[in-house]
Amino acid sequence: MDRKLARKKGARRRSPEQDAKTPRIRFGEQMREFLHRNMNWFLVAGFALLLLQDIFGTHGVLAMRRTQLQAKEVQQEIERLNEENRKLQNRVQHLKSDPATLEGIARDEMHLKRPGEYVFPIQPKPSPQPSETLKKP
């Protein structure tokens, strides 16, 4: 406390004998005063750090939002795969129960024929190139 008064009054220079006579403030007391004076700033800084951690941290708001979007995408993929699976199961059921479907696949994909039938394969015309269509007058 004496130091503060001395600073305010003009801070006269003291001789080394006068410095030896004045009681020195211990480090612990100085630290306690420093913490007491600046406690509000430490609390504000700590609160700001916690707020930043809650927003940008590993388990913060942004990470949670990103995880929710990923979960939504995975759920949509699961629904798409379930629909595809249902269609394939219907096709398997048709193949097992409908002889006309099985015969159509055998003729189209495996190029099979019944006894006594003749198959005349016809090659499709190649589609014209874009450059060829422009050159025709």
Q: Is the pTM of this model over 0.75?
A: no
- Which residues, in sequence order, are CB contacts of 63 under 8 Å at separation 6+? 57
- pLDDT for 135: 57
Distance, CA of 122 to CA of 64 (rounded, Å): 59
> Per-residue pLDDT for 122 more than 90?
no
Render the burial of 100-121: b for 16+ CB within 10 Å, e for the rest.
eeeeeeeeeeeeeeeeeeeeee
Would you list the DSSP string of 15-38? -HHHHHHSPPPPHHHHHHHHHHHH
Contact 107, 113 (CB under 8 A): yes
pLDDT in tens, 33-61: 998 999 999 999 999 999 999 888 888 89
Distance, CA of 28 to CA of 43 (rounded, Å): 21
pLDDT in tens, 73-97: 999 999 999 999 999 999 899 888 8
